[in-house]
């Protein structure tokens, strides 16, 4: 990607810890403003064009509500509504949206589509999930973990276990945890382990941050983890592999109450949702007091408010009269 820098949001690997901290500081400010029913209209008169090649509940609703709460507007653009990649090239779509919208948010079925949008866009492009990364999810996840650590530990004191396959969320968590000096373990069958080039990149971040990465099929390593993270064992494009995947992951890698009891004392459960409580996580675990999955989902809105402000106010942490 020749434009994957902080002017766009493709992956958290492109951001420094300071930049991510700034966005989370903005999240705190906006979350409190929402509680106080006093959200500053920092997106007034602005629009975010939201391209969704795939379905979404959280990402779609959170961006749309965030734009509204901040005084702006969100446009839902599915492939059947616009000409993207059909009658019109991705380049031209990007150029046109750039002239009308202040931000483009895209959930794409391929990295090439996102890269094409980035290539020609003159406004920030936010990756709302492609097959590689899910950066907006990362902000909500880190923030949720921080919110629920009340004993003075920092992110760098924690180890996160991702239970499952080398998904976009798994890759994003590994790279983000590495930036923050956290421990990260992908725990799942060998066949579904993270590609070595991404592990190498994460390890290069760990050299600076003090983090550590482990890719393992040993479920007992959960005993070293403070955060247990769940995700579906297959994506919608992998339905033909569903039975094979379920056979590989179940029952050993399912997040159950028994598994959570083996994690470190006080361990919390996150799940990016949607969850299948007959597969990767049990309803009992998801509804337990240590589960913060629905706080995490709500923080998608907190994150999207911050992202809309951050990318339209030249990265100002807390906007002032001068920066608005």
Q: Write out the residues near ligand CP by the rule CB under 6 A.
A: 56-59, 129, 137, 272-274
Options 8, 58, 60, 107, the catalytic residue: 107
Active site residue 107: yes
Per annotation, catalytic residue among 130, 141, 226, 231: 231
Of 118 and 270, nearer to ligand CP (C-beta) is 270
Annotated catalytic residue 101: no
Residue 238 among the catalytic residues: no
Which is nearer to ligand CP, 169 or 177 (by Cβ)? 169
Residue from 102, 137, 165, 245 carrying the catalytic annotation: 137
CB of 185 to ligand CP, least distance (A): 21
Q: Kindly provide the b/e burial profile for residues 115-151, where b requires at least 16 CB atoms within 10 angstroms of the residue's own CB.
A: bbbbebbebbbbbbbbbbbbbbbbbbbbbbbbbebee
Rounded to a whole number of angstroms, the minimum distance from the CB of residue 235 to ligand CP is 10
State the catalytic residue, choosing from 115, 132, 300, 304. Answer: 300
Q: How far is the CB of 55 from ligand CP (least distance, A)?
A: 7
Active-site annotation holds for 231: yes
Tell me the C-alpha distance between 74 and 64, whole Å. 5
Instruction: Write the DSSP string, 147-183.
Output: HH--SS--GGG-EEEEES---HHHHHHHHHHHHTT-E
Q: Say if strands 227-230 and 159-163 run parallel, antiparallel, or are unpaired.
A: parallel
CB of 199 or CB of 301, closer to ligand CP: 301
Report the distance separating Cα 44 and Cα 21, nearest Å. 25
Give yes or no: 137 in active site. Answer: yes
Task: Confirm whether 300 is a catalytic residue.
Answer: yes
| 261 close to 172: Cβ distance less than 8 angstroms | no
Q: Considering the complex, what minimum distance in angstroms separates the CB of residue 299 from ligand CP?
A: 11
Return the active site residues.
107, 134, 137, 231, 272, 300
């Amino acid at each position: 990607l020749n434009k994957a820098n902080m002017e766009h949001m493709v992956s958290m690997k492109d951001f420094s810890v300071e930049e991510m901290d700034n966005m989370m500081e903005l999240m705190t400010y906006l979350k409190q403003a929402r509680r106080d029913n006093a959200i500053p209209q920092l997106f007034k008169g602005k629009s975010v064009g939201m391209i969704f090649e795939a379905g979404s509940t959280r990402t779609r609703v959170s961006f749309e509500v965030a734009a509204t709460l901040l005084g702006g507007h969100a446009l839902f653009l599915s492939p059947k509504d616009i000409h993207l990649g059909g009658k019109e090239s991705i380049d031209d779509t990007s150029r046109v949206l750039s002239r009308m919208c202040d931000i483009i948010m895209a959930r794409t079925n391929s990295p090439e589509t996102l890269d094409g949008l980035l290539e020609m866009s003159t406004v920030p492009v936010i990756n709302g999930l492609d097959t590689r990364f899910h950066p907006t999810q990362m902000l909500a996840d880190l923030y949720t973990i921080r919110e629920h650590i009340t004993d003075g530990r920092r992110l760098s004191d924690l180890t996160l276990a991702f239970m499952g396959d080398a998904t976009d969320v798994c890759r994003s968590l590994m790279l983000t945890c590495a930036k923050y000096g956290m421990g990260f373990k992908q725990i799942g069958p060998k066949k579904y382990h993270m590609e070595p080039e991404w592990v190498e990149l994460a390890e290069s971040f760990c050299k600076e941050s003090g983090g550590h990465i482990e890719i393992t099929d040993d479920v007992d390593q959960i005993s070293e983890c403070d955060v247990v993270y769940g995700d579906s064992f297959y994506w919608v494009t992998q339905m033909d592999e569903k039975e094979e995947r379920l056979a590989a992951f179940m029952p050993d890698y399912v997040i159950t109450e028994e598994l959570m009891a083996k994690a470190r004392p006080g361990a919390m459960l996150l799940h990016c949702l949607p969850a299948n409580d007959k597969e990767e996580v049990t309803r009992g675990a998801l509804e337990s007091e240590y589960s913060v999955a629905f706080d995490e989902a709500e923080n998608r809105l907190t994150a999207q408010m911050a992202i809309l402000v951050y990318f339209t106010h030249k990265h100002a942490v807390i906007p002032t009269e001068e920066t608005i």
